[in-house]
Amino acid sequence: MLGIDPGLTRCGVGVVDVARDRSATLVHVGAVRSGSELPIGERLAVIAAGLRSVLAAHRPDVVAVERVFAQQNRATVMGTAQASGVALLLAAEHGLPAATHTPSEVKAAITGYGSADKLQVQTMVARVLRLDALPQPADAADALAIALCHAWRRGSATPGASGALTPAQRAWADAERAAARR
Kindly report the CATH number assigned to the domain that includes residue 153.
Answer: 3.30.420.10
In the set 66, 93, 105, 142, the catalytic residue is 66
Q: In this structure, are residues 144 and 155 in contact, taking their beta carbons and an 8 Å threshold?
A: no
Q: Is the peptide bond before 137 cis (omega within 30 degrees of 0)?
A: yes
Residue 117 designated active-site:
no
- For residue 108, the enclosing domain spans 2-181
Residue 93 designated active-site:
no
Residue 5 annotated in ligand binding? yes
Number of domains in the chain: 1
Residue 105 annotated in ligand binding? no
Residue 139 designated active-site:
yes
Query: What are the pLDDT tens digits along the chain (182 aa)?
Result: 999 999 999 999 999 999 988 899 999 999 999 999 999 999 999 999 999 999 999 999 999 999 987 666 777 788 899 999 999 999 999 999 999 999 999 999 999 999 999 999 999 999 999 999 999 999 999 999 999 999 998 743 333 433 455 566 566 666 667 767 76
